[in-house]
Amino acid sequence: MESSVEPPNVEIHAMPNSSAHQPAITRPTTLAARVLTGLVLVFVLGAVAAACTGTPDGGDATAEPAVAGTQGPLTISEQGGRPFGGRVMGDPATGSIRCDHGYVEWQIPENPRSVPLLMIHASSTKTWDTTFDGREGFRTIFLRRGFPVYMTDLPRTGRAGQGCAPTSYTPRPNNDQNSLTTWRIGVWLPGDPTPDYYPGVQFAVDDPDAMDEFYRIQYPEFNAPENEQVETDALAVLLNEMGSGVLLTHSSTGIRGWVTGIKSPNVSGIVSYEPGATVLPESEMPPPIRRADGMMLPAGRPVPMEDFMKLTQIPIQIIWGDYIPTELDEANIGPKLTLDGRRINVLRAQLMADAINRHGGDATNVMLPADLDIHGNTHFPMIDLNNVEIADLLSEFLAEKGLDAR
């Protein structure tokens, strides 16, 4: 498929090992030999637009966006990938399978910052990678800004598809239409041959190749409570091996971030983009929230106060894009019910932030249009056309919370 932006050229040069950054993730010695240490990975990205240069002196984590054709090389001192977590099912003497592990790939730039970013996908790892129209995504932007980046495939998805339980996938006939409406690029209703895009949407809707790619990237998602526990158990193992990390979550992995923050003492902070679920103390549950179709939904997922208090020990930021209804509108039913669901998610997030702050924590719930006058963002602000501006917000948060030191 031809792209409107030429892909990066990549050159890999083996370099002396003496100055290589030591791995920021511990692992058994049998796996250590598999790590690509002492490599310098040079991305020649002259044809890719709207990226950022790093700040090797350890100063402000923000960076000015580069003009197309002016970027310098990006040097990676270490990279690798491997499974993490999981269990062994069965008896080795009669038959066994290793399963329910995740898969992590990591890259560490030269002169890295101390706290890595752990990027946890929802629809797919594409969320954090190159944008649909070929610009740099959060992974590369934050490597340029000096952060070690770890990107996961969660258990039973992607490269970690070897699960301990059976899964099934049924193609959804209206997936294109449903995805476009759910993720607020526009509205594509049954019977309409083409979508109605939102005015001013920060998405490459005029690029047919980018839109084709957008419709193709979603992993099958398994959101039963069992899957959440399997995934967060594995993430807690990974964080123990990493030592610490700021979690970046999105959509359905929002709840994975909150649960992992409860399970692991190694979470340094959480930034969640449009989380699909939140938690509240079970002793402080507000009344249910009415949805446009009349259904009453819980205001959050109840957890013991002892667990909830663990989230008050870390800084939390929640980010929401544009085109989210602010009032209940009974027209948002049927194929548009997802829009009212997003309105409810915003209310839930505010209730959670209020509860965290009420108990001495540090949480902010940010509406980009209303709070920061940033307009046009979809459910994917990290890969929208203004993703550098969104990345700057994350850099500011990390700097403010002391999470960007070298």
Q: What is the mean pLDDT of residues 303-309?
A: 98
- Mean pLDDT of the 119-140 span: 94
Name 271's Cβ contacts closer than 8 Å, sequence gap at least 6: 246, 247, 248, 249, 316, 317, 318, 319, 394, 397
Distance (Å, whole) CA 344 – CA 346: 5
Q: Is the predicted pLDDT of residue 305 greater than 90, yes or no? A: yes
Tell the burial category of 188 from Cβ atoms under 10 Å away from its Cβ (0-12, 13-18, 19+): buried
Q: In this predicted model, which residue has the larger pLDDT, 116 or 32?
A: 116
pLDDT at 169: 87
CA 256 to chain centre: 11
2-16, 152-166, 221-235, 359-373: range with lowest mean pLDDT? 2-16
Specify the pTM. Answer: 0.85
Lowest mean pLDDT among 23-32, 310-319, 378-387: 23-32
Write out pLDDT tens, residues 50-109.
333 344 344 445 444 333 334 678 999 999 999 999 999 999 999 999 999 999 999 999
Q: What's the confidence (pLDDT) of residue 36? A: 37
From the list 205, 167, 164, the residue with the least C-alpha distance to 184 is 205
Task: Provide the pLDDT confidence category of residue 348 given band limits of 50, 70 and 90.
Answer: very high
Rounded Cα gap, residues 244 and 223, in angstroms = 26
Determine the average pLDDT of the residues in 183-203.
97
Where residue 42 falls among pLDDT bands split at 50, 70, 90? very low
Dihedral sign of CA atoms 235, 51, 398, 304 in order: negative
Phi, psi of 171 (to 5 degrees): -60, 140
Higher pLDDT pick, 220 / 153? 153
Q: For residue 33, count other CB atoms closer than 10 A to its CB.
A: 7
Phi, psi (degrees; rounded to nearest 5) at 78: -155, 145
pLDDT digits (tens, 9 = 90+) for 204-263: 999 999 999 999 988 887 778 888 999 999 999 999 999 999 999 999 999 999 999 999
For residues 24 and 228, the model is more confident at 228
Over 90: is that where the pLDDT of 283 sits? yes
Would you say residue 25 has pLDDT above 60?
A: no
The pLDDT value recorded for residue 48 is 36
pLDDT at 51 (0 to 100)? 38
| 35, pLDDT greater than 60 | no
Q: Where are the domains of the chain?
A: 81-165+219-400
| Rounded mean pLDDT, 173-198 | 96
**Matching CATH number, 81-165+219-400, of 3.40.50.1820, 3.40.50.300, 3.30.70.270, 3.10.450.50:** 3.40.50.1820
Residues 6+ apart with CB under 8 A from 62: 52, 55, 145, 392, 395, 396, 399
> How much of the chain exceeds pLDDT 90, in percent?
77
The pLDDT of residue 61 is 54
